[in-house]
Structures are given as structure tokens and as C-alpha cells.
Amino acid sequence: MVLLKNLVVIGQGAPNQLRDGRQSRCVCAYSLDDKVLIRLYPFPVYMLRKWDVFDAEVEKNPIDHRENTWKIKNSKEDWKKIYRWVTIKGEYPKDKQEDLIKSIGFSTLSEIRDNKKSFGIILPVIKDFKLEQQNKSTIKQMTLGDVEDLDVPYTIINQKDYKYKPYVVYECVGDCKCKDKTHCQSITEWGCFEFMRKNAGKEINLKDNLQLFNEEYNKYILVGNIYKAPQTYVIIDILRFKKKKK
């Protein structure tokens, strides 16, 4: 068992269903003590919001070999009692969040991939936004277990059951060695899927909601690699901060 202290949630993927029916998501946290980005996976859909500061008792996942990847102690047995192992200590101060991201530092996609990093933050030049239709409509499927016990007033929808899958096209600022300098990656940010759930029929407005082309916002792209193909990265979160007025 390992106790990780002073972690800050900086990104979280939308829920997906594990083979055994549990609804899970991927949490990306920054360790204020060790100055590294870590992955907590799987993690239940309740508990932990972006910018929460927390401690967690974790263990290695014997089948997931991605860098700095942990699962919560006894996560399978204690799936509905994960609070036994996670202590929320407060929220990272709003006015210091952008500085925290800058202090982590920026990389290019090629650097992140070539160093087999689990995560990295990219300063992007955003080129385009796309919605790819993956289902005829969003499928609200009742799932086993978790949800009925929770005080959640709606059905949690898995990423793959949404009508659309969002993509962002960007280039890295810096010396990116990728063959194709223009990256088109799917975005798994939970907030994006929540937006599509709440704005069915107007999903395209997600582009504006993300402030992708709004000059008043600084944008940083948090990417993470995927379990089945660790060389492949997706966008976990687009961190966006309104520019401070001078």
C-alpha cells in the first residue's frame, strides 16, 4: 500500500463501463509533493471533482503498466465505499490554478510519446473542432449497480453511448517531432460529455463552450495515453483560463 498525499485533480475522463459492469472514469492528478502527474484508474463516478486536493491510499494495478498509474486500494471490494481510501482536503485556490498548470510545464506530443509519459500538457495552436457521429442517437442504458445507490438524478451515460464523439485538431507550440504536425485527437473530458447530455440536439455548441477560438482564454491541452495502445494519446481535458485584464 502506498499513501499519495496532496494530489490535485486536473483532469477527468467521462465515464466508461468496465467489463464487470462498474462505471468508471480516469482521474489525472498532479502530486504537489512529488511534482508528477499520476493516473488513478479505475475510479468511481462519484467523489472527486476537478481541482480537489486529496490524499489517496493506492496500489499498483498488475495489468496496467502505464507510467505513474495507480488504482485505489481494494477498489473492487470497496467500489461503493471508496471514501475509505480517499480524503478530500479542499479545493486548490482558483486564482492559483493557471499558475499551477504553468509550473508543471509544457511538452510537445512527440516528447510525451517518446518518453512514454502517461500524461503531458501541451501549449496548442488550435485549428479545428469536429463532432463525429458514432450512434444514431445517445443511448441511455441503465447499468448495473452503482447508479441506483447514488444520489444522481440522471442515468450516467458511457462515452461510447453518446451520439457524437468530439475531436480537437491542433498543433503543438515547440519542436514537435511527430511526422504529422497536425494532431486530431478525441477529447474525453467529462465536462464535454455532460455538455452534450444537457444540450442534446445542440452538441455543436460544445465548440463555443470550450472557448476553443476565444482569444480571451488561455488554453492548455492535457493528453494521456490509452491502456490498449500506450503509444496513442487522447485529450483528457482542455484547461482553459480567462486571461487576466491588464
Which spans of this chain sit near Zn ion (rule: CB under 5 A)? 108-109, 172, 176, 178
For the CB of residue 86, give the shortest distance to Zn ion in the complex, in Å. Answer: 34
Of 136 and 179, nearer to Zn ion (C-beta) is 179
Q: Closest approach of Cβ 179 to Zn ion, in Å?
A: 10
Least distance between Zn ion and beta carbon 13 (Å) = 21
Give the rounded distance of the alpha carbon of 195 from its chain centre: 15
CB of 70 to Zn ion, least distance (A): 28
Residue 19 or 179: the one with the smaller Cβ distance to Zn ion is 179
Nearer to Zn ion, 38 or 172 (CB): 172
φ, ψ (nearest 5 deg) of residue 95: -75, 0
Cβ proximity to Zn ion: between 15 and 120 the closer is 120
Nearest residue (CB) to Zn ion, 174 versus 191: 174
Write down the least CB distance from residue 110 to Zn ion, Å: 6
Shortest separation between residue 77's beta carbon and Zn ion, angstroms: 41
